[in-house]
Structure 1
Amino acid sequence: MKAIKKSAIATIINAALLSAAGTSVSSFAAEEETAKKNNQLEVIQVTARKRVENAQEVPVAVSALQGDNLDAYSSAGMDIRFMNAKIPSLSIESSFGRSFPRFYVRGLGNTDFDLNASQPVSLVVDEVVQENAILKGFPVFDVERVEVLRGPQGTLFGRNTPAGLVKFDSVKPSQEFDGYGAVSYGSRGAVDTEGAVGGALTDRLSARVSLLWQDKDDYIDNQAPNFEAKDQQGGYTEKAARIQFLYEGDDFSALLNYHTRDLDGSPIAFRANVIESGSNELVDNYEHDVVYQDAGARSTQQVESEGMSLRLEWDLENHTVTSISAWESAEIYSRGDIDGGYGAVFLPDYMGPGFIPFPSESADGIPEQDQITQELRLSSNFDGDLNYQVGVFYFDEELTIENFSYDTFSSPNAGALNGYVKQQQDTTAWAVFGSVDYVVSDDLKVTAGLRYSDDKKDFSADRTLSPVGGGALFIEQDVSDSHVSWDLSANYKVNEDVNWYSRVANTFRAPSLQGRILFGDEVTTADSETVTSFETGIKSDVLDGQGRVNATVFYYTMSDQQLTAVGGGANFNRLINADKTTGYGFELDTEWVLSDELNATFNLSYNKTELKDNDLAVAVCGQCTVTDPTFQVAGPFGPEARAILDGNSLPHAPEWISNFTLRYTKELEDGDFFANGDISYRSKINMFLYESVEFEGKPLTEVGLRAGYRWAEGDYEYEVAGFVRNLFDEQQAIGAIDFNNNTGIVNEERYVGAEFKVKFF
């Protein structure tokens, strides 16, 4: 390694700061090679318990994604959804496209598309919780490691983690100069450019600048009669940057992290009647690059976010004090043709494709969101058998949400505003927590944790314009609750290569509010949900370090689970609580060195979820074939069907998730040839709380390949590669809109591309 002069790196940082505001990125790049080719698996270090530990010795079901597999999965300029079905019990989907991802772990998640929706899976980026769903869509680049912690994580990580959490750790600055730059070109004119550079500014201060620029041409044609347009949707331009400064003293360190994002593009394409009535197949004439929309020209999505965190750490004689202060802010405006078609039944001889009961063109926006968090914790570093962590946490968020409805056929101005609601929510939460580790013997270690949380939300919804003649309406509501979360775990060393652990944990998700009153006159609330989870598993290194097998079985019960009755014929979101939900299953996570040239991983999970509530029923779709028992209730436009949910599985909760990867490396001339292949599978899903023929998502299998050549010259390492995602172009409905017609969302088509990458040291 060689150090870079202060003046040189300062010049690079200044240039990067300027270029981040432009429309393109000229990047340096780097990533230090952490694992050399050998016949043993490397030790995976994780921070699942807020300190660096060997993943094999942590009494938590945790999987890490890093290195070559992370590079292969994120090829093709993919957003955070590339992780879907790549890790046991984890699935991710979105009805917003590249923003607003929805995470599901062990079947627990939230299908709600409202911008105020809470989720039971938390996202933590660089030790800062990303509470609002828009914050969770930040692009993945220059990331050192991704960790997925399954099961309740309420003791150390707090509120809204009953299912688990996803944790991203960016590459940090260091005194050694390194960097990388990569550019790829692929299908539909997609360009993906990213890079990073870092090193010493002084002998105490280092910095790292990471940049991303992604661009894809519009490629979806609109073929609706009278609205024909070429290349109207499907494209985007995404820019992001992360700038970090690290000061390292003798017993004090400070890390400053600033990050920003700017997305300008199209929302995900809604496709009217794309699902064949009476089945869950796509219609025969489906084309991925064609839509039929009368409001397609007005579809747009803009997202801007930025944030800053300051991590201060003092190393005392027997303790470490850590302070993390953070601010996050986001704005979004997303507008789309929600019915996915053109015309309507009340327009003689003009509607399609298929039956369109009524037009729907709407938008959602966050003009202002500010989140402030503060964590202060004290960790002991004793040489003895007892160690502990104690801390306090504070969270404050001010959130403004706007809901818009538009009259697609207004004359003379098509798309005129005909509905508007403004939601305002202020959330305050605080907690005190502690965790104790005790070494009972050389083979047995136990951990106990406790956290008290207090949560309060003040909410108002103000409708000044109604699209259905409902008139003005103003509603104020507040919810609050407190909870004591706890966990108890034990790790027993069976021998030098095998650890057996058991864990029981309890936590909660804070109360929620739903004030999307464009089409209804009620603000609904959901009480806190609580979960108690039991799990036990084995973590083992086998074949003299050439294999790793981790297996877990689990069972959980959830009381008052928060659910969202999304859509239905009345197109109104309603929060409800299910009396009881149960889940059980197993997870298998393995890794293998098959030879000096061949590595493999194989993961498998089974999740069985079941709602248990005899009185729970929700509104159903207007055009689909419901298979649940139903009954009729009086509605504003006549009788409406309600489906009984007792015994149903949770939505977007596949029973089976599996992933297999194979990596081949071969020395060739003065470099290495490499090839990565991966296959991911998830079984069928229900898209909504009720079950129906059309909205049962088919099993999905996707295959990816990446192959190339890597060589080194002096202080530079070069790589050229070709890749393909969704090799067999398997396309099917992965989401839907149920209030109007069988409108569906289809997964991404096959993507083919090539990449050039350079690392320097």
Structure 2
Amino acid sequence: MKKDKTGIPRTRLSAAVSLALLAAGPVAAQQLEEVVVTAQKRQQSMQDIGISVTAFSGNKLRELGMTSSTDIVTMTPGLNYTTPNAEGSQTNFFLRGVGLNDFTDANENPVAVYMDEVYRGAMAGLSFQLFDIQRVEVLRGPQGTLFGRNTTGGLVHFLSEPPTEEFSGYADLTLGEESEVKFEGAIGGAISDTLMGRLSVATHDYDPYVKNRLGRDYNGLESRAARGQLKWVPSDTFDVLLSANYAKNDAEVGAWQHQSTKFGADGFTSVALPGNEDFWGTCPGCDVFGYSDTDGDPWAGDYDREGTVYVKSEGGAATINWDLNDSLTLTSITAYQTVERTQEEDTDAGPVPLAPSFPAETDQFTQELRLSGGDDRSQWVAGVYYYDSEVEATYTLDALGLGFVFLDTDMTQDTESWSVFGQYEFAINDQWSVIAGLRYSSEEKELDYQGFDRSGIFAAETAAGNLPLTPTRPLPDSTFFFSTDTVGSLAKHDETNVTGKLELDWRPADDLLLYASYSRGTKSAGFNTGFLDETFIFASNVPETVPYDEEVLDAFEVGFKSDLAGGLVRLNGAAFYYDYSDLQTFRFELLNQVIFNTDGQYWGGELELTAAPMEGLDLALGAAYLDTTVEDVPDGAGVPRDRTAVSAPDWSLNASARYEWGFMEGTMAALATYSYQGETYFDIQNPDIAQEEGYSLANVRLEWASPSDAWILSAFVNNVTDEEYLVYTFDFTGSFGFNQQAYGKPRWAGVSARYSF
């Protein structure tokens, strides 16, 4: 397929242009609905804020068939995600290329995830079912003032349907391929004159779709979730919302595809191994263990271990709103969340006994207290925020079946931080306004880590004098001890920082906003964990390389928000330049992940168009361009080179068209969606084996709604063309001579029925 100079296939570019032209065509029967968001801690029209935002209503999520928190990436320009362990496990969001593909439980995302104004720090708890959702907001760019913690790239905010006085609810059942059964439902209403509640539940099950030639099949799902809310409103000026949540994901996942690899001509760059070359001396086309997967089927493999991802999340929150007077509101949000995770996978993606396990638990407490107020010309908010987290993990690597080691690690990381923040917006006149915000944060983080070899190999080498005892190897079978007792202040971070923003808005007309802003965001400092080893046999750790510094992002952005053709067309756009200092960058060495600090520059922009060119027809188009440079990444020879950031496609496009017409006294609607992801790397070294060259996904949906919308019947097909596309790779060439590959879901069809009351 031919491409133009932008790198986008001409047919895709033509389709995008056609949609834009159609949007300026026939007159629609009604204007586009106003989109209300809470990006500045108060309800505002999306068109009135100088932040690049994509938002989905709960009804739009349903129409688009989005059932998981990660599904929103397909229709959000500039948003991507990776799951370095397995589907449903550690989830890393990337926004405008800002993200971190680490998979240790001690780390947090630089794209923050919030649920009902509560920060979710544990990456294991970020893949969850979408059910009974009122709205999802994606805010691009650092949100270092009002949200603060780890919002270098932006944030994703999920908001539940709240309790109301009106008795209402729904039940939704979906049946699909691989014996899929998905149910969600909710019921709520007034319990008394001052008390109302809502209960929401969801289940999702399907059989494995990756066939295992040696045993139990892979990539199935068993998921349960529930949310309960009670809202007490004793007066017009005071209310309390109590909420509790529970989710459990128990799945047979982790089915990597196996690709045999070798070192290239430079001696360190990984390349695919030809099927007729015996590079490792085991057999032609084989890895170090003598295995090769040559069937070319991304949905089958030879797995000698039953892969499992088990994630349980539960918690609760109390939100209090008190109007002290007509212009002053006090808000308190107290929340606790615990996430348990166990990850077991067949790392070698073949019949070799190489079995790591990653059990961990994260406990988190947060408290936010803020005051907000304003008048006709100004709005302000000020507050304090407290965060406390404890992560406990016990990772093991069982290679005894290979006559190798049994690595056993125990880790505890404690984090405590607090911050004060404030933002002020002032209208200079009817056209010009200025926004200024500032946040001061202080954080302490401490790591206590112990690593052992249970096979006796290390102890034997120590007895032979080959592995000397050191303060960080105090015992014969120890691999690494890292705590304040052994390395002193290296095991503790004590940081303060100042973030914030400055923005200028210009409204030359009621339906046009132009803005320019500078903002700063940070991601907190941390520690490298995993299978640390000072012996340089399985890793290359010395105490000085375990801690890494916080990253700082200075962002410059210009953009516009516009409503055209009398409200029938909405066109929003933004361009940005990011200057990174101490960018936290991930690379893999031997058997261990390593995060190090460097610098970088990113630039690009997004364009989003929605239109109703004729009665019954709704169109949406999104596009994002991204250029990233990560500086001074050492290659296999230790030579620093500039690289492209991971999960940062140069181009991404999304489009949807929905047409609605009367049918059988109700309404029939047909929906088609399209998304394109351009060239993407999954490894900071940018080898060809860690690259997805670009792919397209198309979904279709047909639904009928009864006259009152009480019943909605749907049929859908996702990934209509059965596209085979990579969503992640992991390179083990240096250790074992293979590359792990993970593919997205195959074509998936189903039907659903929904009843609302």
Equivalent-residue separation in structure 2 for 1:417 and 1:216 (angstroms): 36
Query: Is the 2:629–2:643 contact (alpha carbons within 8 Å) kept by the matching residues of 1?
Result: yes
Query: Is the 1:274–1:744 contact (alpha carbons within 8 Å) kept by the matching residues of 2?
Result: no
AA paired with 1:474? F
Residue 634 of structure 2: aligned partner? 617
Q: How far does the alpha carbon of each residue in 1:512-541 deviate from its partner, in whole angstroms, 9 at most, with x for none?
A: 111213543546121111111111111000
Query: Is the 1:80–1:101 contact (alpha carbons within 8 Å) kept by the matching residues of 2?
Result: no
Residue 453 of structure 2: aligned partner? 465
Query: Is the 1:85–1:657 contact (alpha carbons within 8 Å) kept by the matching residues of 2?
Result: no
Q: Out of 738, 741, 757, which is 2:731 matched to?
A: 738
Equivalent-residue separation in structure 1 for 2:746 and 2:400 (angstroms): 29
Q: How does 1:562-711 map to 2 (within 5 A)?
A: 562-565=584-587, 567-568=588-589, 570-578=590-598, 580-613=599-632, 616-619=633-636, 631=637, 642=638, 644=639, 646-711=641-706
AA paired with 1:44? V
**Alpha-carbon deviation of 1:417?**
8.9
Q: Does 1:718 align with 2:711?
A: yes
**Alpha-carbon deviation of 1:284?**
6.9
Secondary structure, aligned partner of 1:191: strand
Q: How does 1:332-731 map to 2 (within 5 A)?
A: 332-343=341-352, 360-366=354-360, 368-383=361-376, 385-407=377-399, 409=401, 418-465=406-453, 469-470=457-458, 471-472=477-478, 473-476=480-483, 477-517=491-531, 519-520=538-539, 521-522=541-542, 524-565=546-587, 567-568=588-589, 570-578=590-598, 580-613=599-632, 616-619=633-636, 631=637, 642=638, 644=639, 646-712=641-707, 717-731=710-724
Residue 329 of structure 1: aligned partner? 338
**Alpha-carbon deviation of 1:74?**
3.6
Query: Is the 1:335–1:364 contact (alpha carbons within 8 Å) kept by the matching residues of 2?
Result: yes
Q: How far does the alpha carbon of each residue in 1:403-459 deviate from its partner, in whole angstroms, 9 at most, with x for none?
A: 111136279xxxx99221011000000000000110100111111000000111110
**Alpha-carbon deviation of 1:69?**
3.5
Q: Give the TM-score taking structure 1 as reference length.
A: 0.84
Residue 110 of structure 1: aligned partner? 100
Equivalent-residue separation in structure 2 for 1:408 and 1:61 (angstroms): 52
Equivalent-residue separation in structure 2 for 1:314 and 1:133 (angstroms): 33
Equivalent-residue separation in structure 1 for 2:686 and 2:456 (angstroms): 29
Query: Is the 2:251–2:309 contact (alpha carbons within 8 Å) kept by the matching residues of 1?
Result: yes
Equivalent-residue separation in structure 1 for 2:549 and 2:396 (angstroms): 28
Equivalent-residue separation in structure 2 for 1:490 and 1:469 (angstroms): 64
Equivalent-residue separation in structure 2 for 1:674 and 1:129 (angstroms): 37
Equivalent-residue separation in structure 1 for 2:456 and 2:576 (angstroms): 47
Equivalent-residue separation in structure 1 for 2:457 and 2:649 (angstroms): 40
**Alpha-carbon deviation of 1:618?**
4.6
- What percentage of aligned pairs have identical amino acids? 29
In structure 2, relative to structure 1, the CA distance for the partners of 1:316 and 1:594 (3 Å cut) is same
Query: Is the 1:506–1:530 contact (alpha carbons within 8 Å) kept by the matching residues of 2?
Result: yes
Residue 306 of structure 1: aligned partner? 314
**Alpha-carbon deviation of 1:116?**
1.7
Query: Is the 2:370–2:383 contact (alpha carbons within 8 Å) kept by the matching residues of 1?
Result: yes
Query: Is the 1:271–1:292 contact (alpha carbons within 8 Å) kept by the matching residues of 2?
Result: no
Query: Is the 1:405–1:467 contact (alpha carbons within 8 Å) kept by the matching residues of 2?
Result: no
Query: Is the 2:178–2:206 contact (alpha carbons within 8 Å) kept by the matching residues of 1?
Result: yes
Q: Give the TM-score taking structure 2 as reference length.
A: 0.85
Secondary structure, aligned partner of 1:269: coil
**Alpha-carbon deviation of 1:712?**
3.7
Equivalent-residue separation in structure 2 for 1:674 and 1:650 (angstroms): 40
Q: Does 1:287 align with 2:307?
A: no
**Alpha-carbon deviation of 1:272?**
1.4
**Alpha-carbon deviation of 1:387?**
2.6
Q: Does 1:269 align with 2:255?
A: yes
Mind listing any 5+ residue stretches in structure 2 that lack a counterpart?
Answer: 1-27, 262-270, 275-291, 459-476, 484-490, 533-537
Secondary structure, aligned partner of 1:742: strand
**Alpha-carbon deviation of 1:390?**
0.7
The count of corresponding residues between Structure 1 and Structure 2 is 664
**Alpha-carbon deviation of 1:663?**
0.5
Q: How far does the alpha carbon of each residue in 1:579-622 deviate from its partner, in whole angstroms, 9 at most, with x for none?
A: x2101111101100021111000000101110223xx3155xxx
Query: Is the 1:147–1:168 contact (alpha carbons within 8 Å) kept by the matching residues of 2?
Result: yes
Secondary structure, aligned partner of 2:345: strand
Q: Does 1:246 align with 2:263?
A: no
Q: How does 1:69-108 map to 2 (within 5 A)?
A: 69-75=60-66, 78-95=67-84, 96-108=86-98
In structure 2, relative to structure 1, the CA distance for the partners of 1:300 and 1:468 (3 Å cut) is farther
Q: How does 1:195-234 map to 2 (within 5 A)?
A: 195-223=185-213, 228-229=214-215, 231-234=216-219
Residue 289 of structure 2: aligned partner? none
Equivalent-residue separation in structure 2 for 1:112 and 1:426 (angstroms): 19
Equivalent-residue separation in structure 1 for 2:241 and 2:406 (angstroms): 48
Equivalent-residue separation in structure 1 for 2:661 and 2:405 (angstroms): 61
Q: How does 1:12-23 map to 2 (within 5 A)?
A: none
Q: Out of 214, 235, 241, which is 1:255 matched to?
A: 241
Question: How well do the aligned residues superpose, as a CA RMSD in angstroms?
Answer: 2.1
Query: Is the 2:89–2:343 contact (alpha carbons within 8 Å) kept by the matching residues of 1?
Result: no
The runs of 4+ residues in structure 1 deviating greater than 4 Å are: none
In structure 2, relative to structure 1, the CA distance for the partners of 1:220 and 1:475 (3 Å cut) is same
Equivalent-residue separation in structure 2 for 1:327 and 1:677 (angstroms): 40
Q: How far does the alpha carbon of each residue in 1:651-696 deviate from its partner, in whole angstroms, 9 at most, with x for none?
A: 1111111100001100112100011110011101111010212111
Mind listing any 5+ residue stretches in structure 1 that lack a counterpart?
Answer: 1-36, 344-358, 620-630, 632-641
Residue 25 of structure 1: aligned partner? none
In structure 2, relative to structure 1, the CA distance for the partners of 1:259 and 1:38 (3 Å cut) is farther
Q: How far does the alpha carbon of each residue in 1:235-279 deviate from its partner, in whole angstroms, 9 at most, with x for none?
A: 121000000011122210111110001111122311211799269
**Alpha-carbon deviation of 1:68?**
4.4
Equivalent-residue separation in structure 2 for 1:88 and 1:682 (angstroms): 10
Residue 627 of structure 1: aligned partner? none
Secondary structure, aligned partner of 1:134: helix
AA paired with 1:597? G
Secondary structure, aligned partner of 2:126: helix
Equivalent-residue separation in structure 1 for 2:707 and 2:321 (angstroms): 38
Query: Is the 2:354–2:401 contact (alpha carbons within 8 Å) kept by the matching residues of 1?
Result: no
Residue 30 of structure 2: aligned partner? 39
**Alpha-carbon deviation of 1:468?**
8.9
Secondary structure, aligned partner of 2:723: coil
AA paired with 2:524? A
Query: Is the 2:658–2:670 contact (alpha carbons within 8 Å) kept by the matching residues of 1?
Result: yes
Equivalent-residue separation in structure 2 for 1:410 and 1:573 (angstroms): 22
